[in-house]
Amino acid sequence: MKIVVIGGTGLIGSKLVAGLTEHGHEAVAASPNTGVDTLTGEGVADALAGASVVVDVSNSPSFEDAAVMDFFKTSTRNLLAAEEAAGVGHHVALSVVGTERLQDSGYFRAKSAQEKLIKDSAIPYSIVHATQFFEFVRSMSDAATVGDTVHFAPVLFQPMVSDEVAEAVGRTAVGTPLHGTVEIAGPEQFRMDEFFREALAARDDPREVVSDPKAAYFGALLEERTLLPDGGALLGETRFGDWPGRTGAPAK
């Protein structure tokens, strides 16, 4: 079947396109780089012609509150309208575990707005909530850096490798629409401050990790279980200690 992947040239999108293609599907990578812009609508109708499924793993280029809200609302409206016109039978979106508990954050308010548009549309849908990716160690650390110290809250989270995120989204895309949300997560829980302390040490990163209960995540304060999935989450298999990218060395 033809499956269009919005954000198909990014971290998850590129893995998803490769996996779907390997399994015999016509997977189309759609992004501004390939002439498809959901924010303006450019190229969307042509890309969706003949598609059975659309998977949206795109992200806003700006995380400023107004900009990110405009991105997710405008792009999702444009995409859903084009899907309805093209007769697409399944819309799949990637979102984040805990989104509904992070509404002090402009980013997560925007993700909630995106999800509401999907749920309110006439198109059968599935939403995949994933935990944080192993590949975000550096970017999350950089965002949490104040001077020479890195501030993380001593709360639980359950990160996973991006390969398994892409696999889970792919399985959802070729399955029957859920008309609901499925959660995916890594196999291990960590305390966020301890995890990043060990992760940066493994990369010979000299920054000190400070346990800070007031450290925010995308602008939202965290409680003990804010970032954890519910008990029914689908769990990946790759442990952080076994992940080849743990030390930050390039893959061979």
Report phi then psi at 17, rounded to 5.
-60, -45
Model confidence at 251, in pLDDT bands (50, 70, 90)? very low
Domain ranges of the chain: 2-247
Helices H / strands E in the chain, number of each: 7, 12
The partner residues of 212 in beta bridges, in order of sequence, read: none
Q: Is the pLDDT of residue 16 over 70?
A: yes
Mean pLDDT computed over 29-54: 97
Q: What is the mean pLDDT of residues 202-226?
A: 96
pLDDT of residue 248: 83
pTM above 0.85, yes or no: yes
Topology classification of domain 2-247: Rossmann fold (3.40.50)
Q: Are 4 and 55 in contact (CB under 8 A)?
A: yes
If you search the block for the tokens 């993380």, which residue do you land on? 152
- What per-residue confidence (pLDDT) applies to 249? 64
Q: What percent of the chain has pLDDT over 90?
A: 97
Span 135-149, pLDDT tens digits: 999 999 999 999 999
Q: Is 7 left (phi over 0), alpha (psi -120 to 50) or beta?
A: left
Q: What's the rounded mean pLDDT across residues 7-19?
A: 97
Mean pLDDT of 198-217: 96
pLDDT of 131 over the 50 cut = yes
Model pLDDT for residues 158-203, shown as the tens digit of each residue = 999 999 999 999 999 999 999 999 999 999 999 999 999 999 999 9
- Which tens digit of pLDDT belongs to each residue from 91-113? 999 999 999 999 999 999 999 99
Kindly state the tokens that stand for 248. 């930050």
Instruction: Tell me how far CA of residue 63 lies from CA of 70, 77, 148, 168, in angstroms.
Output: 10, 19, 24, 26
How far apart are alpha carbons 227 and 223 in whole angstroms? Answer: 8
Over residues 237-247, the pLDDT tens digits come to: 999 999 999 99
